[in-house]
Amino acid sequence: MTDPRSLRVGMVGHAFMGAAHSHAWRTAPRFFDLPLRPELTAVAGRNEGGVRAAAAKMGWASYETDWRALIERDDIDLIDICTPGNTHAEIAIAALEAGKHVLCEKPLANSVAEAERMTAAAEAAAARGVYSMCGFSYRRTPALALARRMVAEGRLGQIRHVRAQYLQDWLSDADAPLTWRLDKSKSGSGSLGDIGAHSIDAAQWITGRNITGVSALLETFVKDRPVAGDLVGLGGHGATGADTVRGPVSVDDAAIFSARFAGDGPANGNGAGPIGVFEATRFALGRKNAMRLELNGTTGSLAFDFEDMNALSFYDAADGPDAGFRKIQVTEPEHPYTGNWWPTGHPIGYEHLFTHQAVDLINSIARHHPPAPSFADALQVQKVLAAIEASAAANSHWEHV
């Protein structure tokens, strides 16, 4: 007989994000006291050999070759979606309508219309006690969670500037192969949605303010790339030698935009909210995963770089101009999440964010409390992404969100 305190998980997709999520579900109950125990019940993938191997390697009890089979199974309580964006809406809506909780990777969808449908389905399901969450995992970085706490406590005063960058270099080689992430029909956008969405969500979450308008520029530096052998089709050639086949890149390689955040009255002089500058690129040579965020307020500043993810820099104007930034090592038991891991001073890594995400979702489900970020939160990010694309298409015209 199944333990009534279990949460039986079915995961769709088993590549990069699937591995991170699998590790999280396995690890969460070993370090956190949870009201429900996650069980890795089944994983789904289209290729039987691949999904069978993934199930064995990642610890899943069974596998399916069609995601619909997961939704039909009575022994699954939650569907974890780790697939390309063009599949999110169909899977999530079907799962919610079938009474399954849902965790969906970001960005929520490939369009505002899809995200709106998903949000409507999520809100209808929540009324029945069925919950959903979007996987903006950087919210679970202890240093960023501490930044949010400090902003809420008023440590920075009135926020004036938001400065965000997400810098990678994994596509800087023009002969790096074409993948689904470079196909707009599957991914929705390039650096904008893949990594820029994280910066947008983190900035809105930490400041507590939504972006209300943008002016943007998108650029695709490499217009075509070698097609891997398994993507060419029957009779095609792989991406080697003189017979190399190249396919078109249909997404952005880099995105930059300025933004205005919602205001709250006369505190900023004219009632307007903070201003922001954002950059997302996969062409920043030497930068591997530099997800950076800096906030400047009337009484202090905060700065964060994920390549030093256990640290948060804080400048307190009350210390005087000679004090400079102080570096907070976010490894103390009183810091968000860290008390469940290692002794003081011992850092954590990328994979821990997904464990924290699983913990927060499990606790929300057990307490019958809507988790965050909700699909509605993710819809707001989707609207910003759409406004950025519209602005870039209109020569950086100011676009309201």
Please give the backbone phi and psi of residue 156, each rounded to the nearest 5 degrees, phi first: -100, -5
User: Is 29 in the same domain as 51?
Assistant: yes
Same domain, 207 and 253: yes
Q: Apex CA 179: angle with CA 174 and CA 185, to 5°?
A: 115
The verdict on 182 and 283 lying in the same domain is yes
- What is the tens place of the pLDDT at every residue in 32-91? 999 999 999 999 999 999 999 999 999 999 999 999 999 999 999 999 999 999 999 999
Q: What does DSSP say about strands 159-167 and 132-135: parallel, antiparallel, or unpaired? A: unpaired
Does 174 share its domain with 201? yes
Percentage of the chain exceeding pLDDT 90: 92
Q: Is 1 among the domain residues?
A: no
Q: Are strands 311-316 and 326-329 parallel, antiparallel or unpaired?
A: antiparallel
Provide the β-strand partners of residue 42. Answer: 10, 62
Number of H helices, E strands in the chain: 12, 17
Domain limit, last residue, from 307, 331, 348: 348
Is position 373 within any domain? no
> Do both 160 and 305 map to the same domain?
yes
Q: Using one digit for the tens of pLDDT, what is the confidence trace for 180-230?
A: 999 999 999 999 999 999 999 999 999 999 999 999 999 999 999 999 754
What are the backbone angles phi and psi of residue 192, rounded to the nearest 5°?
-60, -55
Note whether 80 and 180 are same-domain residues: no
- What is the number of structural domains in the chain? 2
Q: Which structure tokens are listed for 67?
A: 């995601």
d(CA 152, CA 155): 8
- 243 pLDDT exceeds 70? no
Residues 189 and 325 in one domain: yes
How big is the chain by its Cα radius of gyration, in Å? 22
The predicted pLDDT at position 270 comes to: 54
Q: Tell me the pLDDT band of 271, cut-offs 50, 70 and 90.
A: low
pLDDT band at 273 (very low <50, low <70, confident <90, very high): very high
| Mean pLDDT, residues 291-308 taken together | 98
Q: Are residues 104 and 192 in the same domain?
A: no
Three-state secondary structure of 2-14: CCCCEEEEEEECC
Torsion of CA 262, 267, 269, 274, to 10 degrees: -30
DSSP-derived letter for residue 174 is T
- Say if 376 falls within a structural domain: no
Closest alpha carbon to 401 in 380, 375, 373, 376: 380
Q: Is 399 exposed, middle or buried (0-12, 13-18, 19+ CB in 10 A)?
A: buried
Domain's final residue, options 135, 155, 177: 135
Provide the CATH number for the domain around residue 43. 3.40.50.720
Which of 44-48, 162-166, 240-244, 383-387 has the lowest average pLDDT?
A: 240-244
Give the tokens for residue 39: 């069980």
Among 64-73, 237-246, 375-384, name the one with the lowest average pLDDT: 237-246
* Average pLDDT score, the chain: 94
Q: Which of 66, 100, 135 is the last residue of a domain?
A: 135
| 43 & 103 share domain | yes
Give a yes or no: residue 257 inside a domain: yes
Residue 366 lies in a domain: no
- Same domain (yes/no): 90, 112: yes
112 and 152 assigned to the same domain: no
Place of tokens 């449908």: 117
pLDDT of 239 over the 50 cut: no
- Report the DSSP beta bridge partners of residue 314: 302, 326
| 300 lies in the same domain as 157 | yes
Tokens of 327: 């570096």
User: Could you tell me the pLDDT band of residue 240, with boundaries at 50, 70 and 90?
Assistant: very low
Q: What is the CATH number of the domain that holds 314?
A: 3.30.360.10
Whether 398 is in a domain gets the answer: no
What is the pLDDT confidence band of residue 264, given thresholds at 50, 70 and 90?
confident
Measured between alpha carbons, how far apart are the two ends of the chain, in Å? 50
In percent, how much of the chain has pLDDT > 70? 94
Residue 377 falls inside a structural domain: no
Q: Is residue 89 part of a domain?
A: yes
Name the pLDDT band for 3 (thresholds 50, 70, 90): low
> Residue 62: which domain range?
6-135
pTM confidence score: 0.94
Q: How confident is the model at residue 116, as a pLDDT? A: 98
Does position 269 have pLDDT exceeding 90, yes or no? no
